Each structure stands twice: as C-alpha cells, then as structure tokens.
Amino acid sequence: MRVLWCGAALLLAAAAGCGRGGEKTDTTVAVATSAADRAVAAAAVANAIAANPAAADSILSEAGYTPDGFQQLMYQIAADSAMSASYAAARTR
C-alpha cells in the first residue's frame, strides 16, 4: 500500500509541474497530464478507496478530487479505450 501511495504522490507531483530547476514548463505539464497518467492516478485512488472505503472522502480530497470530479474522470476513462486499458492495468483487485 505504501508503494501505491508513493506512486500516486509522484504522479501528483509531476502533474503539479515539477520541472527542471523547479520551473514549470508547458512540456512538463503536457507529459504529466497525459491520458495514461490520469488513468493510472485514478486507478491509484480507486485502489486506495477499495482498501479503505470508510476513508473515501479523505482519499479523494488528498488526491485533489471532489466526488463529482472523480466521477467525471471515470466517465472519461470509460469513454476512451486507451485510458481504460491504462486504468485496468494499474487497478488491483
């Protein structure tokens, strides 16, 4: 579980624009917010919620999602076959 959170934290840090020298560049943000990255981050959140359903609200909040925002992301993932494949590969059962 710790590895999962570390991976999620790295993805969120990359999405925040941690570039070379601490500067935020458009290239860094474009790579970090790719469809596959968003799908993997969503899978990490879903895995954490599955492991502790009672903490779902705090898990979503810590990951930077609202319940509605996360639901919209899940719809985006479901509508895109590449995102769905990335999500399924990162999702644990």
With a cut of 60, say whether residue 20 has pLDDT above it. Answer: no
Q: With beta carbons less than 8 A apart as the criterion, state whether 1 and 51 touch.
A: yes
Domain ranges of the chain: 2-90
The residues, ordered by sequence, that sit 6+ positions from 45 with a Cβ below 8 Å of its Cβ are 8, 59, 60, 63, 65, 70
Structure tokens given for 41: 């981050």
Calpha distance 71→62 (Å, rounded) = 16
- Nearest Cα to 39, choosing from 80, 68, 67? 80
Q: What is the CA radius of gyration of the chain?
A: 13
Average pLDDT, the chain: 76
Query: pLDDT by residue (tens digit) across 34-63?
Result: 888 999 999 999 999 999 999 999 999 999
**pLDDT at site 34:** 86
